[in-house]
């Protein structure tokens, strides 16, 4: 059986690995360090559906757009000692109605940070929906929303709830109810 001799530069590769190995051992979380607890997520039932009509009509032929929030998800990581960074994604199913002129529409979505019954912050995002030719149903995500939540030894990420829904007019809310 033939014997393979190391090629040129084997000593350099070995020295490089020996130098980098201690640096790589510092990657990742420290011993006994766990990921931070994340906030809970919820979709506001009365604001989970969106219907837009052309004019004052409420007939199927006047329907411009129907939408439904189908998911809210996120992940957390420690930002610093007093904050956690949360990346949130909201999934929306959209259906183009017969009353839509063109193939584009804006849909107002909100994300609220809630602690108990108190709304601490609320952001309204205008999600642009563009329907390709011959497609009347699409699922979109308006992109990740980055949040920073304050935490203490008494208040973890689990103290918060991220609440998603559509920013509805009073008439739209009444129709949903």
Angle, vertex CA 142, rays to CA 34 and CA 88, nearest 5 = 15
pLDDT at 28 over 70: no
Contact 107, 67 (CB under 8 A): yes
Q: 7 in a domain, yes or no?
A: no
Q: 121 in a domain, yes or no?
A: yes
CA distance 32 to 161: 26
Q: 20 in a domain, yes or no?
A: no
Q: 167 in a domain, yes or no?
A: yes
Across 173-177, average pLDDT: 83
Q: Please state, as a whole number, how many other Cβ atoms lie within 10 Å of the Cβ of residue 62.
A: 15
Q: 53 in a domain, yes or no?
A: yes
CA distance 138 to 167: 20
Contact 13, 21 (CB under 8 A): no
Beta-strand pair 104-115/118-130? antiparallel
Q: 34 in a domain, yes or no?
A: no
Start-to-end CA span in the chain (Å): 81
pLDDT digits (tens, 9 = 90+) for 90-106: 999 999 999 999 999 99
Q: Which domain holds residue 148?
A: 40-176
Q: 114 in a domain, yes or no?
A: yes
Residue 82: pLDDT band (50, 70, 90) is: confident
Question: According to the model, what pLDDT value does residue 130 have?
Answer: 92
Contact 145, 87 (CB under 8 A): yes
CA distance 115 to 161: 6
pLDDT digits (tens, 9 = 90+) for 111-162: 999 988 899 889 998 999 999 999 999 998 877 888 888 888 888 888 889 9
Q: 29 in a domain, yes or no?
A: no
- Lookup: tokens for 147: 């949040």
The domain tally of the chain equals 1
Contact 160, 173 (CB under 8 A): no
Q: Collect all residues with Cβ–Cβ distance below 8 Å to 5 and sequence separation of at least 6.
A: none
Please report, for the domain that includes residue 127, its CATH number. Answer: 2.60.40.150
């Amino acid at each position: 059986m033939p014997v393979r001799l190391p090629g040129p530069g084997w000593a350099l590769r070995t020295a490089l690995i020996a130098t980098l190995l201690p640096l790589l051992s510092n990657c990742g979380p420290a011993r006994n360090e766990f990921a931070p607890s994340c906030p809970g997520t919820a979709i506001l039932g009365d604001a989970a559906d969106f219907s837009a009509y052309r004019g004052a009509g409420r007939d199927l032929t006047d329907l411009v757009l129907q939408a439904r929030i189908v998911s809210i998800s996120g992940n957390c990581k420690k930002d610093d000692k007093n904050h956690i960074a949360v990346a949130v994604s909201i999934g929306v199913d959209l259906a183009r109605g017969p009353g839509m002129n063109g193939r584009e529409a804006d849909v107002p979505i909100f994300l609220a940070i809630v602690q108990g019954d108190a709304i601490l912050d609320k952001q309204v995002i205008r999600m642009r929906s563009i329907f390709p030719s011959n497609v009347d149903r699409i699922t979109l995500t308006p992109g990740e929303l980055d949040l920073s939540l304050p935490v203490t030894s008494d208040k973890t990420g689990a103290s918060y709830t991220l609440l998603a829904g559509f920013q509805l007019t009073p008439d739209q809310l009444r129709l949903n109810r």
